[in-house]
Amino acid sequence: MLNHPQLDLVFQALADPTRRDMVERLGRGPQSVSELAAPLDMSLPAVLQHLQVLEASGLVSSEKTGRVRMCRIEPKVMETAESWFTKRRAVWERRFDRLGELLAEETESERRTTRRKR
């Protein structure tokens, strides 16, 4: 269950709001690529790129039936992502995002203070 390289890919995949939105909609049932793309304000190649990232993570699989490519969620990978370990890691990821924001704010306010002193 704890295949870390795959978990890393899952995290990368879910780090993007567009991909989270795609996964959320696929959670309600399989959709074709064009259905997935319809509400998104981006080109089809861009959507396909997002889909590639999702497929690489294992969260989503797709299959061509006739002229339509259908996408669906892979429940097993979703369950792995749901584990407590994953959430614990997510908590630290959030913390380090915040730390990054704080460090950037500090640098910015110092820059302003230095400029004012001149």
Partner 1 sequence: MSQRNSQHDTFTIERRYRVAPARVFDAFADPAKKDRWFGCVEGWVVAEHTLDFRVGGREVWRGGPPGGTQHRNDTVYHDIVPNERIVWSYTMRLGDRPISVSLTTMELHPDGSGTRMRFVEQGVYLDDYDGAADRVRGTNDLLDSLDRALRAER
The one-letter code for the residue type at 97 is D
Q: What whole-number distance in Å separates Cα of residue 114 and Cα of residue 84?
A: 45
Show the site string, 20-59: x = touches partner 1 by CB under 8 A, - = not. Answer: x--xx-xxx-------------------------------
Is 44 or 90 the residue whose CB approaches partner 1 more closely? 90
Report yes or no: 60 and 72 within 8 Å, Cβ to Cβ.
yes
Cβ nearer to partner 1, comparing 43 with 85: 85
86's tokens: 């994953």
68 secondary structure, DSSP code:
E
In angstroms, give the least distance from the CB of 66 to partner 1. 26
For residue 8, give Cα distances in angstroms to 13, 54, 68, 101.
Answer: 9, 12, 30, 22
Residue for token pair 């959709």: 31
Q: How far is the CB of 69 from partner 1 (least distance, A)?
A: 20
Choice between 69 and 89, CB closer to partner 1:
89
Segments of 1-118 assigned E as strands: 31-32, 60-65, 68-73
Q: How far is the CB of 2 from partner 1 (least distance, A)?
A: 6
Residues that bind partner 1 (CB under 8 A): 2, 4, 7, 14, 20, 23-24, 26-28, 73, 75, 78-79, 81-96, 98-104, 106-107
